[in-house]
């Protein structure tokens, strides 16, 4: 079948900006299920069918491929410091959002079109925290999120954000979690959630 549609930006729109374009195009093409898979070969595409099955059969509207369920992350070579901060950020987010995800930071996600139509992802950052903001919006809108175990591979050629960008991302995650909590208890009204 091959690639049917290619989106080319004249200038770099950033990690989140790129996804906004892709999601908008998928909805424009009337896609029922939209999969986001990082193109760095860390995640296996062999789970696309399983993730899509859960959405197509109305079991869940969102499915994440989790490196943390099971032993996929460390077994696949995830650096220990990344694993540690993934666990810390996820722990904080689960408390602030009253959820129980194994991780919020995976680059493997499947969505029903309905979910994308019902959250304001266009208001999110164009940077890496975009993914995290989307999950907060999905929970805020009342959707449940499924996770399936995903083996992963870390190797020299695979892309990864540097320490400085990782720190910026971490603070963005903390901010997103706090904003979620404050909106839930009606202290704030952020455009991210309305």
Q: Does 56 or 7 have the greater pLDDT score?
A: 56
Q: For the stretch 8-22, what's the b/e string if a residue is b when 16 or more beta carbons lie within 10 angstroms of its beta carbon?
A: eeeeeeebbbebbee
- From the centroid of its chain, how far is CA 32? 18
pLDDT at 132: 98
52-63 pLDDT per residue, tens: 999 999 999 999
The candidate with the shortest Cα–Cα distance to 140, out of 156, 118, 160, is 118
Taking residues 140-144, what's their average pLDDT?
A: 97
For the entire predicted model, the pTM comes to 0.93
Domain 14-193: give its CATH superfamily. Answer: Spore Coat Polysaccharide Biosynthesis Protein SpsA; Chain A (3.90.550.10)
pLDDT at 159: 63
pLDDT at 1: 61
The mean predicted confidence, pLDDT, of the chain is 93
69-127 pLDDT per residue, tens: 988 788 888 888 889 999 999 999 999 999 999 999 999 999 999 999 999 999 999 99
């Amino acid at each position: 079948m091959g690639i049917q549609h290619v989106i080319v930006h004249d200038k770099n729109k950033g990690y989140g900006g790129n996804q906004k374009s892709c999601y908008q195009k998928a909805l424009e093409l009337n896609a029922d299920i939209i999969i986001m898979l990082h193109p760095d070969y860390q995640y296996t595409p062999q789970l696309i069918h399983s993730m899509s099955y859960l959405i197509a059969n109305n079991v869940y509207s969102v499915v994440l491929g989790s490196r943390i369920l099971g032993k996929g992350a460390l077994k696949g070579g995830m650096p220990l410091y990344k694993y540690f901060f993934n666990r810390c950020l996820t722990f904080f987010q689960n408390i602030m959002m009253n959820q129980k995800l194994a991780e919020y930071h995976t680059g493997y996600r499947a969505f029903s079109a309905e979910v994308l139509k019902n959250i304001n992802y266009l208001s999110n950052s164009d940077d890496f925290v975009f993914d995290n903001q989307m999950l907060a919006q999905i929970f805020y809108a009342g959707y449940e999120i499924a996770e399936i175990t995903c083996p992963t591979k870390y190797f020299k050629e695979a892309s990864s954000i540097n320490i400085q960008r990782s720190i910026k991302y971490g603070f963005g995650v903390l901010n997103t979690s706090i904003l979620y909590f404050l909106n839930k208890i009606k202290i704030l009204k952020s455009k991210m959630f309305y």
